[in-house]
A and B are shown apart, each in its own frame.
Chain A
Amino acid sequence: MQERSLFFADRERWVAVEFGVMLGLLGEGLMLTAQIFVVTLIGSLPLGVVVALCRMSRFAPLAWLAKFYISILRGTPLMLQLMAIMFGPYYLFGLQMGPDWKFIACDIGFILNYAAYFGEIYRSGIQSIPRGQYEAAEVLGYTRAQTFMKIVLPQVIKRILPAMGNEIITLVKDTSLAFVLGIAEMFSQAKALAAREVSMIPYAVAALIYWVFCLLIEFILNRVEKRMDYYHD
């Protein structure tokens, strides 16, 4: 800090510039955070469907496998899972991965983990739809695909929305776990800045940004929920 003041005679100007630098670095981190967030959702929302379908399969080994998968991914820390995927190729197969591997490993880890959670939410939603809905559709002549797409799915979406919202907001904050892989997302940036500046302010600012991120998501989710508020069952 002291050596810096040599460059900036005017202390107030120095604070402003330093604050700008901090925001810049946190902003760069936020880009990576948002990227992990978006890629995870794009991958895990559909993969969760596969997990749920396997879990509900009448073919017992498949259902058992899905159950095992869900149990492992929900039952161990995401941080460990990220590290396992990051270093697994080397320790298991002696493979040297390129410098970009950490980003790929990170996305794979997040997607696999969140697919387990989403899969369980989907399953609980699908299984909460009364049998009578399927039977009414069947008697009316709807095909199985129509029954699912037109009758079941819209009701499932409404029912699982609160649980999905929870999980998605958790994901915003979980992205910070990418720091264990040396990915400079927002939390890593805040940590580095805090160490360099011997200040808690970068943490506080990062927290604020996480919170605003979540507020935005809450806002979107609320709007979707409102749109489906026209009925209850």
Chain B
Amino acid sequence: MTDAVSARNACAADAVVTLEGATKSFGANQVLKGISLEVCEGDVLAIIGPSGGGKSTLLRCLTMLETLDGGSLSYGDVRVCADDGGGRAIYGGKDVIREAKTRFGLVFQDFNLFPHYTVLKNVTDPLVSVHKVAKAEAEERGRELLRKMGLSGKEDMVPCELSGGQQQRVAIARALAMNPQVLYFDEPTSALDPELTREVLRVIRELAEERMTMVIVTHEMAFARDVADKLIFMDGGQVVERGRAADVINAPKHERTRAFLSGYAS
């Protein structure tokens, strides 16, 4: 059911992300039970599934906030970790990890903006501090991104002066500023009310139209169906079903997927 072969999309070019046979346990609780996925350039992949199914853990492993127990993970030609053959993941050295970290961005459910920095500095400081971009250049890029997020005029405010939807759009700008090859979202609208959800989803939809590569964990089924190309349904630490987003949501094949989706109005 989770064989690596069916996980292969066979990207036209090199895959942006390749994960194979990922396993992860917290103590006795195995949360990921051999997950494989491949994200091609320009793909929008939605990940759905019931609470506790391991979606966040999967994203945290992909972004190296957690380490995998077993399996292999690559960003293009950067091999973050490889299976030692005995089911143990062996991670690459510091340089490899540092390089891999430049390949992705992550947008959190609760934004995690830096509250003591202005909106603009939230976006530019990582560029200046981490990527040694000149301040003026970083600010130009920051303003441009904020404009794109519909946040012109908010540059000098601090996050606590913004609505949740605006804060989340700052977080998206912050992630985009690093020019990541893939952008991960972990339930980006779960902390927002419907109206604010809409403005954040609109921004993500625009990014999708620009062929930004994205992996989105979401409970917004209509959004997943309309915006994502591909979709994974996860439950109990396994991929239960995967396919084209519209196909899976409109006509789920697996019983568990059907049961899960019937809980949503869409």
Contacts and interface: CB of A to CB of B under 8 A. Distances in A.
Contact of B114 (A135, A151, A232): A151
B228 to A, nearest CB: 22
B126 A142 contact: yes
A7 interface: no
Given A150-B125, A154-B116, A141 B160 contact: no
Contacts of B178: 140-141
B112 A135 contact: yes
Contacts of B159: 231
Given A140-B174, A141-B131, A135 B108 contact: yes
Contacts of A232: 115, 160
Given A139-B65, A140-B130, A141-B98, A155 B115 contact: yes
A232 B65 CA distance: 27
B112 A231 contact: no
Interface string B62-105: 01110000000000000000000000000000000010011011
Contact of B102 (A132, A133, A141, A233): A141
A132 B160 contact: no
Given A135-B108, A141-B130, A231 B125 contact: no
A148 to B, nearest CB: 13
A146 interface: yes
Chain B: number of interface residues, binned into ranges: 20 to 34
Contacts of A137: 114
Interface residues of A, number: 21
A133 to B, nearest CB: 6
Contact of A135 (B65, B129, B131, B158): B65
A220 B106 CA distance: 41
B258 to A, nearest CB: 35
A232 B113 CA distance: 12
A136 interface: yes
B110 interface: yes
Interface in A122-157: 130, 132-133, 135-142, 146, 150-151, 154-155
A140 to B, nearest CB: 4
Contact of B126 (A130, A133, A140): A140
A230 interface: yes
B116 A155 contact: yes
A231 B129 contact: no
A138 B112 contact: no
A149 to B, nearest CB: 10
Given A141-B178, A231-B158, A132 B130 contact: no
Contacts of B115: 155, 231-233
Given A150-B125, A155-B116, A158-B116, A142 B65 contact: no
A135 to B, nearest CB: 6
Given A151-B114, A231-B115, A139 B106 contact: yes
Nearest to B63: A139
Interface of A: 130, 132-133, 135-142, 146, 150-151, 154-155, 158, 230-233
13 contacts: A130-B112, A132-B108, A132-B112, A136-B114, A139-B65, A140-B130, A141-B130, A142-B130, A146-B129, A158-B116, A231-B116, A231-B159, A233-B160
Q: Considering the complex of A and B, which 5 residue pairs feature the smallest CB-CB distances, nearest first?
A: A136-B112, A132-B112, A233-B115, A141-B130, A231-B158
Given A133-B112, A141-B131, A231-B160, 4 more contacts: A132-B112, A138-B65, A140-B126, A232-B115
